[in-house]
Structure 1
């Protein structure tokens, strides 16, 4: 049967969707603008066919690409990681997760305070994660009150200094918020624990101890479906968190793309008849949100250098899908995600329904492809990429 590998490069968009103006993203093009501004060379992804997806200034087209190539449209309402990964797994959302541009309502904050035994919380409004600890970290140290903030995404984030609130306690607080408060009407996509350390003027987030508490997707998603049919399912990176911890035979959280790639290569040496779902987050978390085109380009080049090693470990019955979950244009004035098409590369090209896969109608083509590959009966709102 073989293995199906799905590698998501977080925040890798290839141009605004037709409905991007509804999100204020009509001018965004993550990969296109990045190549224009940085001249980023990606020789291995070029050979795979990345430059065939859309015109890219520094990544030319290939006349005989190794992958079937195209781009996919997001149908679900929203532009966050949870929405994108769920749609890749066959779940389309008719309405977006709630967002809170004016901060969370009093009833939410009161329930949270009472549940964790705190008299107050700090901030309660949209804020940059690095700026919020710079601006409020000292007050947090003095009062012990947790920092609660959100963003343009559907997130409830809680930051606390490790000398004030132990990391395990912070996780307990976030788990309480997830399970007891933030459901139904206030069911945000993710509750995120954001521990930090350091002294005033030099606070640093502990990214490797961040933890996401997501809503649980409907049971019919492809990960659960494959596991029910006896297919081994693996998560590398934050994927398991985006699925509420459900559906995976085994998961490996990672601290960086380098570790994610290393874990993937290690697993590929042992996997058999498995579905492997990988998220490489640094492009989004470290560089897209921080408007750092040079860092984003270097991050893509790190992934590009790993492509030959990844391909060398594929058996002839395996398939590899490389894609994104939304855009995050580091050349933009916005630090938020963007409503963009995402690329899709299917290796080997001979397994594709055609070398040029065109513009796909939904991210859920990935779920349909996995169901087709493993010969599992499942109905998803997508079309398989393979013949």
Structure 2
């Protein structure tokens, strides 16, 4: 069976238990969904109907399963958004992106100053919400952007909209991407972090932008668009893939906006063949990194509620796949992502059996399934599961 449209939803950071190589990342025993459910029993009837109860470590509830389900393991040398998403589409990242456990070196920051025309404050490994509160007054006094990183391969630039206008912040980030973070400093992402408000009440806005490094391998998006099919990205999908191969992109600021845009685009493309892919970021950015278990649980439940309205819109000629790009166990030490297997559920009204898809040995199995559906050939990695669906 083949489908006219495929919809992929990525629940950013919603991992389902430590991967076989988790110990190498310091994450043996991490389990995002399992540890959340142990603290706050999750009410997720729609995800359960799709098979979550068979693959995630959550409390048992009698449920009729209408989706197929499995787990996927990452082969890329990282546990970040970029490496996970790229692997989905057939590009396994074999060399880790550079990270800066002791903050950025002087020569990198000198290049930043020379190329952008700005100095900086910060240069720390920090939580974004904490650093803008602490350095906000200096930011207003000096007019300088706040620079920081994390355990991920990121160069983050924060600025208040009243100090550095949004367009100027984006310009600084574009220069940093193209002229500063190059060569050995080519991080996975440059991230614009605009914020508003007053001291003690600073709020990061939904105008965040991610400037991804350019992939060196051809991925599924390009194969699809070159064949004349649409490839629509929702949320930060366009940023993650550097807009390569997308025919259209809809940037959004939070999960409800993601679902609204995803629904609108699903209905808008009913007469066309192609792929619609969305990243729902709130799980990770709002709750995972902040180690907020209760907030994370509420976010999953809110997503499940939205999913209950979305599932009836999926038609028999459409295939929905829901997964995650890495873990971010809010009960874990530190504030970093966690190396985990990720859940995979697959649904279409045309399918009549719930199939156990097992443990997939690479995220690229998802991309190869898309390739097989549209008869586009074989990726360098990945084994499709289209023929296993019933």
Shorter-chain TM-score: which interval? over 0.9
The answer to whether the 8 A contact 2:42-2:58 is kept is no
Distance 2:280 2:72 in 1: 18
Aligned to 1:371: 371
What's the counterpart of residue 338 of structure 1? Answer: 338
For the Cα contact (< 8 Å) 2:266–2:276, is it kept in 1? no
Contact between 2:316 and 2:350, CA under 8 Å: does it hold in 1?
Answer: no
Q: Which residue of 1 aligns with 2:165?
A: 166
Name the residue aligned to 1:25.
27
In the superposition, the TM-score normalised over structure 1's length comes to 0.95
Match of 1:125 in 2: 124
Q: What corresponds to 1:223 in structure 2?
A: 221
- Residue 139 of structure 1 corresponds to 138
Kindly indicate whether residue 215 of structure 2 is the aligned counterpart of residue 213 of structure 1.
no
Instruction: Classify the secondary structure of the residue corresponding to 2:82.
Output: helix
1:268-292 alpha-carbon deviations (Å, 9 max, x no partner): 2121312011101111111111111
Offset, 1:350: 6.9
Instruction: Tell me the TM-score normalised to structure 2 length.
Output: 0.94
Selected match of 1:47 from 46, 49, 58: 49
**How many Å separate the matches in 1 of 2:236 and 2:318?**
23
1:343 shift after superposition? 0.3
Q: Distance in 1 between matches of 2:105 and 2:140?
A: 25
Residues 1-387 of structure 1 mapped to structure 2, 5 A cutoff: 1-57=3-59, 59-60=60-61, 62=63, 64-118=64-118, 120-206=119-205, 208-271=206-269, 272-348=272-348, 355-387=355-387
How far off its partner does 1:313 sit? 1.5
Task: Measure the CA separation in 1 of the matches of 2:279 and 2:287.
Answer: 15
Q: For 2:308 and 2:375, locate their aligned partners in 1 and report how far apart those are by CA, in whole Å.
A: 28
Encode CA deviations 1:254-304: one digit per residue, 9 max, x unaligned: 111111111111112121312011101111111111111111111111111
Count of residue pairs the alignment pairs up: 383
Superposition CA RMSD, Å: 1.7
Q: Secondary structure at the match of 1:269?
A: helix
Unaligned runs of 5+ in 1: none
Map Cα deviations across residues 213-245 of structure 1 (whole Å, 9 max, x no partner): 111223510011111111110001001100112
| Cα drift, residue 202 of structure 1 | 2.3
